[in-house]
Structure 1
């Protein structure tokens, strides 16, 4: 009897594949994690530092999301008998699209979550994304007199203003590894992400010249889906 009920349920889900969007509850997820930062700045000897983040995502479809991301961490570098430290805050709004959006079998998401194997479920949650946001710098520098002179002679500037805010574009690639399966999708996921942040005023390190600064953030975190229907 139980097997008959299970097969009947799967059959109903399969036949109603065209209404998959109505079946999906569009959950909100929250997440948090931590990892390592590295900077691509004028002082090229990179010191890997710590950062942590929190985020809130809304799924437009099971595989397309928009979200808010907040981050606090440090960037450090040295060279030419000089060094900088930046204790930064960052926030952005972003969008992500996952491989599952392009898989034929995932159009009926409820049926897909029941029949997909573990590898397929992981691969379907590999994503790329981009966003827009702000970074608040808290820069401290110790620059040698010779290096200061070289920067100015080459047309550069020095600016370690405390609390300076500027615009950034974060680019993301990563994967959500789901667990805690329900009919309408996983309840939990482990997130592995690489975020590469582009700046437009070349001032993560207090040194402004021709090349804009960038930084990377490799992180591992946990996500939890809210309001998921059972």
Structure 2
């Protein structure tokens, strides 16, 4: 699984680097991709699991966007003769700001998309972002009685609800690598992203303890820009 993800990332990045351009000048983009998740829970992560996503973004400026993101994947962990698997669904609303927002560039943005050098194009599309959303559990677990009793003795609890919905905070860092030059900017992009998701109820694994559960999602995707700016 890990080898496939690495090979996919290297291949897509190599294709994009040859024809890279600046961020979309079109106001709306849609995208989809896939990658690997890893759980940070009471039970230790036992390897990357598959997840995929779909999203849509609106560009307020060429380098600031707001968007929606939907995700389906799997988290798992094991330890203490116990294990869990969570086939989850997640959705969020998010905002991203790119380095290009702080760089000097011509007022004529279409001219910039045709003339900027490769380093500037890549640097300008590095971004950070944050959002808010919901996460739906679908937990299967097998807990050793001694481990479960130990959790309860320390003030924790074994969650009865294995399919509830709770609030999450996704944090993102990544880069959009658009390619294909036109007067109105590129229409396609490769997206490489790391999303770190914080939870509020400590129930990704069915065990509620003092530390809030978290998970990471490394992904590679493709974005397509719609419409032209007036």
Q: Which consecutive residues of structure 2, in runs of 5 or more, have no partner in the other structure?
A: 1-23
Would you say how many aligned residue pairs link Structure 1 and Structure 2? 207
- Report what 2:163 is aligned to: 163
Would you say the 8 A contact 1:29–1:224 is kept in 2?
A: yes
Runs of 4+ aligned residues of structure 1 deviating over 3 Å after TM superposition are none
Find out whether 1:94 has 2:94 as its counterpart. Answer: yes
Cα offset, 1:229, TM superposition: 5.5
Trace 1:95-174 onto structure 2 (pairs within 5 A): 95-105=95-105, 107-174=107-174
Cα offset, 1:106, TM superposition: 5.3
User: CA, structure 1 residues 150+187, in 2 after alignment: closer, same or farther (shift >3 Å)?
Assistant: same
- Report what 2:83 is aligned to: 83
Find out whether 1:34 has 2:34 as its counterpart. Answer: yes
| 3-state SS of paired residue (1:111) | helix
1:114-169: CA deviation from partner (whole Å, max 9, x where unpaired): 21022211111000000000000000110001101100000101115232000000
Q: TM-score, normalised by structure 1?
A: 0.86
Would you say the 8 A contact 1:74–1:87 is kept in 2?
A: yes
CA distance in 2, matches of 1:211, 1:120: 41
Higher relative CO (Cα under 8 Å, sequence separation at least 6) belongs to: 2
Would you say the 8 A contact 1:94–1:131 is kept in 2?
A: yes
Would you say the 8 A contact 1:100–1:106 is kept in 2?
A: no
Cα offset, 1:47, TM superposition: 2.3
Q: Which consecutive residues of structure 1, in runs of 5 or more, have no partner in the other structure?
A: 1-23
Find out whether 1:65 has 2:89 as its counterpart. Answer: no
CA distance in 1, matches of 2:126, 2:77: 32
Would you say the 8 A contact 1:40–1:213 is kept in 2?
A: yes
- Which structure would you say has the larger Rg? 1
CA distance in 2, matches of 1:171, 1:182: 32
Q: TM-score, normalised by structure 2?
A: 0.86
